[in-house]
Structure formats: C-alpha cells, structure tokens
Chain A
Amino acid sequence: GAVVSQHPSWVICKSGTSVKIECRSLDFQATTMFWYRQFPKQSLMLMATSNEGSKATYEQGVEKDKFLINHASLTLSTLTVTSAHPEDSSFYICSGNRGEETQYFGPGTRLLVL
C-alpha cells in the first residue's frame, strides 16, 4: 500500500511555456502532499506543502506565482511551472502523507526547459 504516482515522468518544453505535473496517491488518501525539487547529486529541497482544500505553504525563496500548487482532492495535487525557463529544469518529486509519520514518494518528473 501507499503508492504515489506522478505524470508525466519526463517532459521537455520550450522556454516561456507552462508545464503541469500531477501527483496522485493511488491507494490512500493523502491529507498532505509535499513537492520537492532535486538538483543533480544533491538532496531534496522542499518547495511547498499543501493540504487538501487549502492554499499551499511555500518555503522561503520559492516563488508561489511561479510554482502553482493545487490540491483539489485527497488523491490529487498538481504543480504548474509557469513561464518555465532553463533554470527551472530539474527533477520534481512529490510525496503524500496519510496522517501518520511516513511520507510516500512518487517516482519523480524530470523537466527539461529548452
């Protein structure tokens, strides 16, 4: 149990376009979802925390107008990278928490902005 999926698994887009990444908890209800960003050979950087039905809480230094997060249901959260630029290229990982201690992670989405 506790499976999280992400779609797409990878995406290439042109600079200036927007990209939406979906994160779904397949077999549990995620009361909280987290979005992370991981640079090559580096640890995970928490971008934002979202609770179902409320606004996301962004970490310091993360632009909320740039990285739009929606958590419309207990099984779906989306991250939209607006007006993407090459520096937004990264590996984006989401995780879900079902009200206990453990976070369950999705397989990640690799974004390449040309």
Chain B
Amino acid sequence: AQSVAQPEDQVNVAEGNPLTVKCTYSVSGNPYLFWYVQYPNRGLQFLLKYITGDNLVKGSYGFEAEFNKSQTSFHLKKPSALVSDSALYFCAVREPGRTTSGTYKYIFGTGTRLKVLA
C-alpha cells in the first residue's frame, strides 16, 4: 500500500538557520511527490513537486526538496529560515493508478509543524 510518513510532529529552528522537514514514502512505481504549506485556518498552498528529472527541486518562497530514491525520501529544505515560515507542512504522494473515475488521488502525510524562533 502507498504511504507517506512525516516522522516529526514539530520542528523548531532559529531564524537564519537552515531548516529540514523530513518526508519518506512508499509507493509502487515512480513516485510523484509534493510539498504543501498550511497557515492557520487556511487551505494548503503548493510549494513544489517532483515528477522526474533533477533530484533537487526548487519551489516557492526559497524552499527546495531533495528526492532520494535509495532512501525513499523527499525532505523539504531552506537555507535560511524566516519567522514567517512558521506553519504546518504536508508532504504528499500521488497514487500511481487512476481511480475508477479516471483521476489520481493524493496520500498526505500527517503534517509537521515548523516553528521558526526569532
């Protein structure tokens, strides 16, 4: 069965320091991986995705993620954290097969709360 794991419920980092939010996955076939950010009482905002190509993917707001096939990981990173980066981050993987209605579903991780301390 397909799954996504975010092993940390919360990550604390000092402003200006690099940050990493971890995500590992288990899928059959080639993974389609996504990172989203959610601010309080808001929907999810798309950050970046990996479909194919370079293992290092650059996204919005200075975030990037590294796809590592051997470790089945897709960790989110940023070289220098900002207080405004504090939010809830979700990793997601697209299920490999279409549904009966012809669409693809996402599987979401449980989320990691990032706290950037001033």
Does A42 make an interface contact (CB < 8 A)?
yes
Q: Are B101 and A43 closer than 8 Å at their CB atoms? A: no
Q: Tell me the complex Cα distance, A104–B51, Å.
A: 16
Q: Tell me the complex Cα distance, A6–B99, Å.
A: 25
Q: Are B102 and A51 closer than 8 Å at their CB atoms? A: yes
Docked complex: B93-108 residues within 8 A CB-CB of A: 94, 99-106, 108
Q: Tell me the complex Cα distance, A44–B92, Å.
A: 10
Chain B interface residue count, Cβ-Cβ cutoff 8 angstroms? 25
Chain A interface residue count, Cβ-Cβ cutoff 8 angstroms? 27
Contacts of A101 in B (CB 8 A): 32, 34, 49, 51, 94, 104
Contacts of B108 in A (CB 8 A): 43-44
Q: Are A57 and B41 closer than 8 Å at their CB atoms? A: no
Docked complex: B37-57 residues within 8 A CB-CB of A: 41-46, 49, 51
Q: Are A108 and B41 closer than 8 Å at their CB atoms? A: yes
Q: Are A49 and B105 closer than 8 Å at their CB atoms? A: yes
New A-B contacts (7) at CB < 8 Å, excluding given A101-B32, A101-B34: A49-B103, A51-B101, A51-B103, A57-B100, A105-B36, A105-B44, A107-B43
A interface list, Cβ under 8 A from B: 2, 4, 6, 32, 34, 42-44, 46, 49-51, 54, 57, 91, 93, 95, 97, 101-108, 110
Closest 10 pairs (CB-CB, A-B): A105-B43, A105-B44, A107-B43, A32-B103, A108-B43, A57-B101, A43-B108, A43-B110, A106-B43, A44-B108
